[in-house]
Chains A and B, each alone.
Chain A
Amino acid sequence: MNCEEYREAIAADPSFDGAAGHLSECSACQVYRKEMLALNQRISRALAIDVPQLDVPELPEIGAEVSPESSTSMSDNVVALPKRPILSPVLLGLAATVVLAAFVGFRMVGSGVEYPTLGDELLAHIDHERNSLVVTNVAVSDARLTSVVPADIARLDHGAGLITYARSCVIKGRSVPHLVIQGEHGPVTILLMPDEMVSTPQTITGESVKGVILPVGNGSIAIFGEREESLDQIEKNILDSVTWST
């Protein structure tokens, strides 16, 4: 190995410990190696940026989980049941009703992860993400806005207002754009939910905020502001500014 080959090797990987023979005889490469090791330490230090506190997203329940032990032991431990007669259409309808009622009941009661209503989940989310509610005149960059509201979700005109916060958040297990604009009385939260359909406008009232979930196409848009905030004009601006792409 010559000097050039050795330097390329040590620059590509400072832990390279080959070519010991060449290194012991070449003082210039010994100096180069020391320089590379020092450079690497500086790189390592520079890369180790501070890490903010961990913020684990809301995790959806994983359905139809089967643990390895249960899946392997099924055939050994389960006794085959006798075949049942096929249900009549009337009984099938009755069974479907029972299942639907049980599902609705489960949703209403809640399990700690599910919220009774979409409005409850939105209020909890806004409360969870209070850091978004900052009074400011600094708009998010176009790049950020484009990445949070990609073209395959929606088109957003500038008429929406001064957008000072944009983040992808999880609502009902789906990633949705969470925006904040500046209203007359403080920050106003906008959640674009292209897949969350509501049949009629829903008024929501929280402890310190009020809001509305508006049906828009096959989805909905939620708008929340301070109790004193007049949301009518904001609703109109948002509805005029947002066009679903789906």
Chain B
Amino acid sequence: MHSSKAATLRRQRFDQYVGVYHQDMYRYAAWLSRDKTIAEDVVQEALLRAWKSLDALRDETSAKQWLLTIVRRENARYFERKRLETVDIDNLTASQAALLAVEDDKELDDMRQAIYELEDDYREPLVLQVLMGFSTNEIAEQMELKQGAVLTRLHRARAKLAVKMER
């Protein structure tokens, strides 16, 4: 009876995190992998891993960073054997193109494509800062970089996007 109650509480805790952070997990995975289908798979694997190691999460306030770290690792595992650093923007698979799909908004379309074309090193800190609201310190921790390197990448990422959007 006692262990059943503990299991129920554990599941409730898990569902609560998933409810709050699922969107962040998916968007992070999507922009890391640049593929909607792969993002769904990565999130599935990440949820499974999070469920198994939920008891390791002691600090409730770091749940978001914990989940995104799991997503990052699952994405790395996914691409461990075949990393596609370059993507031919004119020859995307349906699942890749789905990430860029917008409706009647050229400016949004252009910006999404420009972000899509950014190198991983520049795109990821941008996603963590703009979408996830991470500080540069938190990004450095997440990406295992020095803060100076994060600042440089963010500065260069915006410079690249600004140039692309001026064309």
Contacts and interface: CB of A to CB of B under 8 A. Distances in A.
A31 interface: no
B137 to A, nearest CB: 11
Contacts of A167: 41
A198 B48 CA distance: 25
A70 interface: yes
A143 B165 CA distance: 30
Interface string A121-148: 0000000000000000010010110111
A12 B27 contact: no
Interface string A25-46: 0000000000110011011111
A207 interface: no
Interface in B5-48: 5-7, 9-11, 14, 18, 22-23, 26-27, 30-31, 36-38, 40-41, 44-45, 47-48
Nearest to B54: A62
Interface stretch (A51-59, A85-93, A100-108, A221-229): A51-59
Nearest to B109: A46
A8 B155 contact: yes
B18 A54 contact: yes
| Interface of B (DSSP majority class) | helix
Contact of B130 (A43, A57, A62, A148): A43
Contacts of A48: 27, 131
Interface of B: 2-3, 5-7, 9-11, 14, 18, 22-23, 26-27, 30-31, 36-38, 40-41, 44-45, 47-48, 51-52, 78-82, 84, 93-95, 99, 107-108, 111-112, 115, 126-127, 129-131, 136, 150-152, 154-155, 158-159, 161-162, 165
A59 B3 contact: no
A57 B47 contact: yes
B38 A42 contact: no
Contact of A65 (B10, B27, B99, B158): B10
A171 to B, nearest CB: 12
A170 B51 CA distance: 13
| Interface of A (DSSP majority class) | mixed
A237 interface: no
Those 6 A-B pairs whose CB atoms lie nearest each other, nearest first: A46-B111, A67-B6, A12-B151, A12-B155, A12-B154, A11-B155
Interface size range of chain A in the complex: 35 or more
Given A62-B7, A147-B82, A13 B30 contact: no
A146 B81 contact: yes
B27 A39 contact: no
A151 to B, nearest CB: 6
A131 to B, nearest CB: 11
Given A13-B151, A49-B99, A65-B3, A175 B45 contact: yes
A39 B165 contact: yes
B78 to A, nearest CB: 5
A213 B64 CA distance: 41
Contacts of A201: none
Interface in A164-215: 167-168, 170, 175
Contact of B81 (A43, A55, A147): A147
